Amino acid sequence: MSALVLGIGNVLWADEGYGVRALEALHAGWRLPDEVALIDGGTQGIYLLEHLCSASHAIVFDAIDYGLPPGTLRVFRDAEVPVWTDQAMSLHQATFQELLALAHLRDRYPQRLTVIGVQPQTLDDLGGSLSRVVRERIPQAVEIAVAELASWGIVARPRGHEPAEALSPSALALADYEAGRPDAEAACRIGDSRFLNPAKPVDPVDAAPARGG
Domains of the chain with CATH codes = 3-179 (3.40.50.1450)
pLDDT at 66 over 60: yes
Tens of pLDDT, residues 79-112: 888 765 444 444 444 567 788 888 888 889 999 9
pLDDT given for residue 152 in this prediction: 96
pTM of this structure: 0.79
Tens of pLDDT, residues 140-174: 999 999 999 999 999 999 998 888 887 777 767 77
Name 57's bridge partners: 3, 112
Give the type of residue at 179. Answer: A
Please tell me which residue, 199 or 185, carries the higher pLDDT value: 185
pLDDT band at 212 (very low <50, low <70, confident <90, very high): very low
pLDDT given for residue 62 in this prediction: 92
Task: Please state, rounded to an integer, the average pLDDT across all residues of the chain.
Answer: 82
| % residues pLDDT > 90 (the chain) | 46
Give DSSP secondary structure letters for 120-171. Answer: -S--S-BTB---HHHHTTHHHHHHHHHHHHHHTT---EE-TT-----SS-GG
Contacts of 186 (CB under 8 A, 6+ apart): 193
pLDDT given for residue 13 in this prediction: 87
pLDDT at 78 over 80: yes
pLDDT at 33 over 50: yes
Tens of pLDDT, residues 166-198: 777 776 777 777 777 777 666 665 555 555 555
Average pLDDT over residues 66-72: 92
